[in-house]
Structure 1
Amino acid sequence: MTVAPPLAALLGLAELRGATLAEVDAAAALQHRVDRKYLVPLDRARRLVAGLADSHHVLDLGEGRRTTSYLSTYFDTPELGSWRAHVQQRRRRWKVRTRLYAEDGLCRVEVKTKDGRGATVKHALRVPAAEYGELPTAAAAFVDELLERAGVPVTAGALSAAVEIRYVRAALADLRHGSRVTLDSTLSCRRDGRTATLDPGHVLIETKGGARPAPADRLLLGMGVRPVSLSKYVIGQSLLTPGLPDNDVRRLARAHFTTETHRASLPAQHQAPLPERVPTA
């Protein structure tokens, strides 16, 4: 079986100048964050990286490593309140997840909400790697405080693990102007012994910056690529949970994701219970 080259080689990341995590984090803090997402063929993603080489650095994690493997477990209520808020484009959208950076053994609890201007607000708490996929006492208190502050009437006690998302990510940053670009490959969504996998010929690109389109957005527009309303978590639930109403994300994802069942290969403790059928209202 032919093994595909790693993401760094496919995108030509060796050609970019490197930046440390501290430099990239400092750049990201320079401005209010608006996210735009694109599903991009691999050849256009490589053209984008080449087009940004003069203005952007690539996150270098030491010894030439320029990608990271991510594992993210998303939490939701039994009625899938987070999923519904996103599908129905509610003003108070929210996500709660634990994220593991596999090569580094780092784990964080993250809470994402929308502010009054529609921009993404994200807060994170470092936790032990052994707590990945869980919300113990300190993490639960962190989640409760942030959801209450955002006006979301949900507590950590009402949440349980819903979907796990895995992918490999490269991150670029314009250290001067504060915009960032992430490129995700080998993306898979896992639930109850079923997996939905992104076509290996595509990359999910996210631009993170201010209200005005960044250079990456303009380059993608010039290549004929338009932004899409897409959430990894919404994709996972929409494709893998029976009985959910059809939605725009599912229709888009079906063109780029392949779903398979392998229940027998997963231990029972890693299979989240199916939620109740979600009403469309």
Structure 2
Amino acid sequence: MSHAAPFAAGLGLSSLRGATLAQVDAAAALQHRTDRKYLLPLDGARLLVDRLAGSHHVLDLAGRRTTSYRSTYFDTERLGAWRAHVQGRRRRWKVRTRLYAEDGLCRVEVKTKDGRGATVKHALRASAGVYGHLGEHAADFVDGVLRRAGIPVTAGALSPAAEIRYVRAALADLDHGTRVTLDGGLTCHHMDRTAALDPGHVLVETKGGTRPAPADRLLLRLGARPVSLSKYVVGQSLLTPGLPDNDVRRLARRYFTAGPRPAPLLERTPAA
């Protein structure tokens, strides 16, 4: 069963002005950005949406204001991407395939950090059938991005390590070129185990420049504080036996539950 409809209603997305994907991409594509993350109770997230209604539009895709995401993350046998993040290394990286479920669209994405700590995202469009795999074309793309970033890892050393599923609403300030995303129904999957974000909480991310955006200042006024929380790192930290304890796991234990029972697949609606 899809979480999309109750999530959209719970956030009050119908009160916002809609924007097309082209409008959002033109104003706030943000492939080079600073991300800040917050964990908010659902009522706090709804209040945030209400306060942003005057300055932000919500991405509206033919009347649909949320999208179901599935992301498969790739890592080395020794979890080099996971360890680089947990250890706070300057050369952090992530490789994933991402499926936009309702639209049947897929992208291969590589995220790295620049010298100032900002996130740089590189993406390659692919067919939906590519999701969860790194074929020859995708591998060449991944190798090129990691090589230019000075990261000594190749696609040949990577294999699927975890899958993350969630429902996302995307808000954009079209005048200032910043975005806010709100993720709910978040689950992490590794082999036969699943971890889930408490359904009463929403993961909020602001995506903009190095200086805090108006949305960040509003979040501070609402009592929220930034957290260091990677969806992939959370999944591995909670679900993979034998990994060392770390700050991410301690934070995640406050908001996530983990167990052996796999969550049901999100509904996939074929593209029109």
TM-score, normalised relative to structure 1: 0.91
Amino acid at match of 1:51: R
Q: Which residue of the partner structure matches residue 39 of structure 2?
A: 39
* 5+ residue gaps, structure 2: 266-272
Cα offsets for 1:42-77 (capped at 9, x unmatched): 011001000000100000011x10000000000000
Q: How far apart, CA to CA, are the structure 2 residues paired with 1:54 and 1:88?
A: 40
Q: How far apart, CA to CA, are the structure 2 residues paired with 1:46 and 1:262?
A: 30
* CA root-mean-square deviation: 1.6
Q: How far apart, CA to CA, are the structure 2 residues paired with 1:113 and 1:28?
A: 19
Q: Is the 8 A contact 2:75 2:81 kept in 1?
A: yes
* 5+ residue gaps, structure 1: 267-281
Q: Is the 8 A contact 1:97 1:109 kept in 2?
A: yes
2:51 is aligned with 1:51: yes
Amino acid at match of 1:184: D
Q: Which residue of the partner structure matches residue 7 of structure 1?
A: 7
Please identify runs of 4+ aligned residues in structure 1 that moved more than 6 A: none
Q: Is the 8 A contact 1:31 1:178 kept in 2?
A: no
Q: Which residue of the partner structure matches residue 93 of structure 2?
A: 94
Q: How does 1:1-281 map to 2 (within 5 A)?
A: 6-29=6-29, 32-62=32-62, 64-262=63-261
Q: How far apart, CA to CA, are the structure 1 residues paired with 2:30 and 2:101?
A: 27
TM-score, normalised relative to structure 2: 0.94
Deviation at 1:262, TM superposition (A): 3.0
Instruction: Figure out how many residues of one structure are paired with residues of the other and give that number.
Output: 262
Identity between Structure 1 and Structure 2 (%)? 77
Q: How far apart, CA to CA, are the structure 1 residues paired with 2:32 and 2:105?
A: 26
Q: How far apart, CA to CA, are the structure 1 residues paired with 2:11 and 2:204?
A: 12
Q: Is the 8 A contact 2:98 2:131 kept in 1?
A: yes
Could you say what secondary structure the match of 1:33 adopts? strand
Could you say what secondary structure the match of 2:227 adopts? coil
Q: How far apart, CA to CA, are the structure 2 residues paired with 1:201 and 1:42?
A: 5
Q: How far apart, CA to CA, are the structure 2 residues paired with 1:261 and 1:178?
A: 42
Q: Is the 8 A contact 1:58 1:66 kept in 2?
A: yes
Could you say what secondary structure the match of 1:255 adopts? helix
Q: Is the 8 A contact 1:38 1:225 kept in 2?
A: yes
Amino acid at match of 2:116: R
Q: How far apart, CA to CA, are the structure 2 residues paired with 1:30 and 1:76?
A: 25
Deviation at 1:32, TM superposition (A): 4.7
